[in-house]
Amino acid sequence: MSKKMIAIINGPNINILGKREVNVYGTEDWNSIEQKVKAIGKKIDTELLFYQSNYEGDIVGFIQEHMDNLSGVVINPAAFTKTGYSILDALNALNSPYVEVHLSNIVSRGGWHSESIFTETAVGFIMGLKGYVYELGLQAINNYLEGNKND
C-alpha cells in the first residue's frame, strides 16, 4: 500500500492572525504551525501537502488537482465557514474524509462557527486558540483512516 497523503488546507487570514490578535495567538504564524505539523506527519509516516489561500476558487483548484492522491484533508475554512459551498462540494467529491479545524473559539467569534456548512460531512471538528488544532486535526484524520482501513 502506498503512503498516506493528507492535505493541510488553510483559508484566509492565517498569516495575519498572530499580528492582529497577538494577546490571544502569540507569535504563531503559518510557518511555525507547519513545522509542528510536519513533525507529526513524519512520526506517523504520512506525506503532507500544505496549502494556504485567501481565494475560494484556488482552494477548490488545489483539492481538484490532488483529488486522486489524497487520503484525507485537514481544513481551516476560516471566513468561508458560511460561504464556501464550492469548497464543500470539492471536499465531498474527494470521497476521502476531512476534519474541520478553527483557530478561535465560539465565545470570541460570537458563535458563528456553530453555523459551519462543513461540519455536517466532516469526520471531526476541532476548535482552539492555538495552532495545535492542526496537530489535533492531523491526528484525528490519521486515527480515522487507521480505524477504517478494512472498510
Cβ atoms of 9 and 61 within 8 Å: the answer is no
Per the CB < 8 A criterion, the answer to whether 48 and 6 are in contact is yes
Q: What angle do CA 116, 27, 19 make, to 5 degrees?
A: 70
Walk along the chain (151 residues) and give the pLDDT tens digit of each residue. Answer: 468 999 999 876 544 443 334 344 456 677 778 888 999 999 999 999 999 888 888 999 999 999 999 999 999 887 666 678 899 999 999 989 999 988 764 444 444 445 678 888 899 988 876 778 889 999 999 999 999 886 5
Domain ranges, ordered by start, for the chain = 4-147
Q: What is the pLDDT of residue 84?
A: 81
- CA 128 to the chain's CA centroid: 13
Active-site positions read 25, 102
CATH homologous superfamily of 4-147: Dehydroquinase, class II (3.40.50.9100)
